[in-house]
Amino acid sequence: MHSKLLLGSGVAAGVLMPGLILADGATRPGYNLWHHGASQLGTGERWWLLTLTFVIGGLLLIAFAAGLRRALHPGKSATWGPVLTATAGVALVLAGVIPTDPALGYPPGQPEVVTAAGRIHGLIGLVLFVALSAAAFVLARRLRETSRGWALYSRLSGILVIVLAFAAGIAYRLDVQGTLRPAPAGLLEHASLLVGFCWIVAIGVRLSRTAR
């Protein structure tokens, strides 16, 4: 497959995923973008849409990783950059297939339970954010060869992805414990995903201009 087409897969994922998630959440009865995480859309009445979004987005990221490998090889980040990006893609696919548990009052009327599938989904989510953040740091090394500005942007994106994700986890715990209600767990998680996918779009566009 052509390198530019593979890199374009990342651009497509970065545009489609946030758009579909935000649009779906904004039109779900009982769902609050401030309060609820993206994964909770997989437990509501249109659960299949979130599953489809995650699976397709994950497959696009895996294709994007193959494009990164072609664009970066040989040289710095040519191995770990694509590996970490592909790991994030696999995590997205698994997060779509293995749903999270009802929580924070969503879906309305369903009991809030903790299941094995929900715990596994949480671990997969952690892998997703860590891999995406790490990929940004790894690619910053390569980007620094041609532009310090791009390298700085990549590092800042990596920092924001992981900091916002952990902040979302803390806010979720505070909400569940009743310490802070409603906590902005959803807003923080959506922001983390948006930063990550904006970075993927930017990197995909930049590398596609020089792809062989």
User: Which pLDDT belongs to residue 145?
Assistant: 87
- Which of 59-63, 98-102, 145-149 bottoms out in mean pLDDT, i.e. has the lowest? 145-149
Contact partners, residue 149, CB within 8 Å, separation at least 6? none
pLDDT, average across residues 9-38:
94
Mean pLDDT (the chain) is: 92
Q: Would the pLDDT of 124 be above 80?
A: yes
Burial, 113: exposed, middle or buried (Cβ in 10 Å; 0-12, 13-18, 19+)? exposed
What helix, strand, coil percent values describe the chain, rounded to 5? Answer: 75, 0, 25
Residues 166-185: what's their mean pLDDT?
91
Please give the structure tokens belonging to residue 165. 């994700």
What local confidence, expressed as pLDDT, does residue 179 receive?
86
Percent of the chain with pLDDT over 70: 99
Helix axes 3-26, 185-208, angle to 10 degrees: 160
Q: Please calculate the CA angle 36-37-41 and round it to the nearest 5 degrees.
A: 90
Residue 118 binned pLDDT confidence (cut-offs 50, 70, 90): very high
With CA atoms as reference, report the closest residue to 38 among 51, 156, 178, 11.
51
Q: Is 107 a residue whose pLDDT tops 70?
A: yes
Between 58-62, 66-70, 77-81, 93-97, the lowest mean confidence (pLDDT) is in: 77-81
Q: Is the pLDDT of residue 99 over 70?
A: yes
Between 140 and 75, whose confidence is greater?
140
Residue 73 scores a pLDDT above 90: no
Q: What is the pTM of this model?
A: 0.93
The pLDDT score that the predictor gives to residue 212 is 55
Give the C-alpha separation, 116 to 122, whole Å.
10
Q: Please state, in angstroms and as integers, the Cα–Cα distance from residue 204 to each residue in 39, 157, 178, following that order.
A: 25, 14, 42
* pLDDT reported for residue 1: 59
Tracing tokens 């990549």 back to the chain, one arrives at 154
3-class DSSP assignment, residue 211: coil
Report the candidate in 39, 29, 133 with the shortest Cα–Cα distance to residue 81.
Answer: 133
In this prediction, residues 36-40 reach a mean pLDDT of 94
Q: What is the predicted pLDDT for the residue at 181? A: 84
Is the confidence at residue 72, as pLDDT, over 90?
no
Q: Could you report how far apart the first and last alpha carbons of the chain are, in Å?
A: 12
